[in-house]
Structure 1
Amino acid sequence: MGNKLGLTIALGVGLFFTSCQTNQVEQVITVDEIQQIIVSLNNVDLVDLSDRSNILIDVRTPEEYAEGHVPGAINLNVKDDNFSKNVAELDSTKNYYIYCRSGVRAKSAEAIMLENNLKSVHTFQDGMLTYKGQIEK
């Protein structure tokens, strides 16, 4: 009887750890997949924004953001004097996806974010100029 109980517990623990490992593997995005996504802001739908570890940031001015932005994006104006301070307060365990009007300001923002020890920062190579997706105001 004791051997059956021990075997049942061992089997249950093994299944638990196996299922946890499977879930972790499914959530990994490769570097190549990220590179394919960030080629164009039109690929933004490939970023799972329902996953709270993925954050979409629009680094344009508040006025530009109000005129229309990608749904789910938060606004952190790279030209704001407090941008570096605001970036320093971001969670370093998150994945940040950045865009602007054409890609230039996003590159500047990326450099500042990396200087502030954010490890997972991805910049869309283009921006709102070529974006054909949904816009939120």
Structure 2
Amino acid sequence: MSQTVQSLSPAAFKAVIADKSVQLVDVRTAQEYAQGTIEHALLMDVSSVDFEQEIEKLDSSSPVAVFCHSGVRSLYAATVLAERGFPAIYNLTGGIINWQ
């Protein structure tokens, strides 16, 4: 895996997303997102056929923090973002279930 992807503990992830230049992306489904997300997170469903087009809405020169339910889908999304050349990608280890 690319060294641009870092999996972080909830505490480290919280510190990273406190930086307003970091783009926060929830890669779960709209239904999961509606049940609650992290404040200011953008919804980009990684399982959607439009995911690759959604990525183009992000600023590719800024870091991105991604999360999902348990950390599996977000790790996949992080890999896709790394392939697109984002400078730094942060993945929430254990996903949103680990967040509280």
Q: What per-residue deviation string (whole Å, max 9, x for no partner) do you get for residues 11-39 of structure 1?
A: xxxxxxxxxxxxxxxxxxxxxxxx6xx53
Residue 103 of structure 1 is matched in structure 2 by 71
TM-score, normalised relative to structure 1: 0.62
- 1:125 is aligned to 93
Calculate percent identity across the aligned residue pairs. 28
Query: Hey, which bits of structure 1, 4+ residues long, moved more than 3 A?
Result: none
Give the AA of the match of 2:9: S
Contact 1:95 1:120 in 2 (8 A): yes
Cα distance between partner residues in 2 of 1:111 and 1:48: 19
* 1:2-17 matches, cutoff 5 A: none
CA contact (8 A) 1:57 1:98 kept: yes
Q: Please state if 1:84 is matched with 2:52.
A: yes
TM-score, length basis structure 2: 0.82
Q: Which amino acid aligns with 2:8?
A: V
C-alpha distance in 2 between matches for 1:103 and 1:40: 11
Once the two structures are TM-superposed, the CA of residue 42 in structure 1 deviates from its matched residue by: 4.4
CA deviation string 1:50-78 (max 9, x = no partner)? 62x11111100011001011112111110
Larger radius of gyration: 1
Unpaired segments ≥5 residues, structure 1: 1-34, 133-137
Larger strand share, 1 or 2:
2
Higher relative contact order (CA 8 A, sep 6+): 2
Q: Work out the number of aligned pairs and report it.
A: 97
Higher fraction of helix? 1
